[in-house]
A = this chain, B = another copy of it.
Amino acid sequence: MATIKDVAKMAHVSVATVSRVINQKGYVNEDTKRLVMEAIEELNYVPNELARSLFQKKSHIIALVLPHLTSYYFSDLLEVIEDEVIKNNYRLMICNSKDDPEKESKYLKIFEQYNVDGIILLANTNRIEDYKKLNIPIIEIDHNLSDDIPSIASNNFLGGKLAADTLLKGGCKNILHFRGPSGLVTVQERTRGFNSVIEGENTKVFSYDLAFLKPDKKAIEETIKNHLDADGIFCESDVIAMLVIQALKKLGKSVPNDVQVIGFDNIQLACMMEPNITTIEQSSEKIGKTAIKMIMNLISGNTLESFNKIIDVKLIERETTKKSL
């Protein structure tokens, strides 16, 4: 592996000059520059990023902390984030905390050891103070663990409202609401939005909390059986919606004629199912891109145009709800 010294020797210049050429910094004569470039080419020289990082105290690594890797929404987001990170000439380190304090500790240490440049928190943690102590730029996605950490999330309030609007317009009077874990701000916002529309309307709502990752199929079936008069169901994820639709079919209910169903996320499967699921789309594209823009701004010391960024959601009307009467 060629080093900067080898290049310097071949080009008959000092390492400083080579460094200047590489980093396009300081004065370098055009002819010298050409010589150096040729030597770099000739030797297939690639600067050692570790040496560079050591000196500069930045590793060009972005850490993404998540609680798991197997939800469809996270996968979509991960795909976007990885792409944006690379486009900005950074590298992505995946940190799956799994809500395991030991694993999180390991990662907290790694962030220090590697001079990680930025952290994107997409997981819950009760060690937010330890993150802050690291003195590394942080942003949160879908969380609000500390007031002084910039955040980004979908407009979950609007999402809840849109869902309620849709069911109401379809004539629902008796709604079942399968929520996510009530500890999440995202879930709280959706509920707030949803209820803000329902309130005052002559409509009943029964809410039931479910895990997002592995929604309890049995609980869904039971709950539906206990509410056979329900004519609309708001599911806070498309996976829940899928399960709900399955359960309804089993009970001989027709979707959307007997019961209307609306999901959340708009994962790819939502339009693979029969019937295609009406849902509230969260744009993982926009969230991911904006998240990276924010963290890059923080890294370069710029001020953020918006500290708590909200990304619009969109109603995707498909076949599990009735079009406005």
Chain A residues within 8 Å of B, Cβ to Cβ: 1, 46-51, 53-54, 59, 68-70, 72, 75-76, 78-79, 82-83, 86, 91-94, 96, 98, 103, 106-107, 109-110, 112-115, 214, 217, 239, 242-243, 246, 249-250, 268-269, 272-274
Contacts of A242 in B (CB 8 A): 269, 272-273
Contact check, B274 vs A246: say whether CB atoms are below 8 A apart. Answer: yes
Contacts of A54 in B (CB 8 A): 48, 50-51, 54
15 further interface pairs, Cβ-Cβ under 8 Å (given A217-B272, A246-B272): A1-B112, A48-B115, A50-B54, A51-B54, A54-B54, A69-B82, A72-B72, A83-B96, A86-B107, A91-B93, A92-B94, A94-B94, A246-B274, A249-B274, A250-B274
Min Cβ gap A167→B in Å is 23
* A1 to B113 CA separation, bound complex (whole angstroms): 10
Contacts of A115 in B (CB 8 A): 48, 50
Contacts of A96 in B (CB 8 A): 79, 82-83
Closest 8 CB pairs of A and B: A49-B113, A246-B274, A50-B54, A69-B79, A70-B75, A46-B112, A82-B96, A50-B53
Contacts of A59 in B (CB 8 A): 50
Considering only CB atoms, which chain B residue lies closest to A213 in the complex? B268
Contacts of A83 in B (CB 8 A): 96, 98
* A243 to B93 CA separation, bound complex (whole angstroms): 34
Contacts of A107 in B (CB 8 A): 86
Contact check, A86 vs B103: say whether CB atoms are below 8 A apart. Answer: yes
* A69 to B115 CA separation, bound complex (whole angstroms): 26
Contacts of A114 in B (CB 8 A): 49-50, 91
* A109 to B49 CA separation, bound complex (whole angstroms): 10
Contact check, A47 vs B272: say whether CB atoms are below 8 A apart. Answer: no
Considering only CB atoms, which chain B residue lies closest to A273 in the complex? B246
* A75 to B66 CA separation, bound complex (whole angstroms): 13
* A74 to B238 CA separation, bound complex (whole angstroms): 20
Contacts of A274 in B (CB 8 A): 246, 249-250
Contact check, A113 vs B249: say whether CB atoms are below 8 A apart. Answer: no
Contacts of A76 in B (CB 8 A): 70
Min Cβ gap A129→B in Å is 14
5 A-B residue pairings within 8 Å (CB atoms) = A50-B54, A50-B113, A50-B114, A92-B94, A250-B274
Contacts of A91 in B (CB 8 A): 93, 110, 114
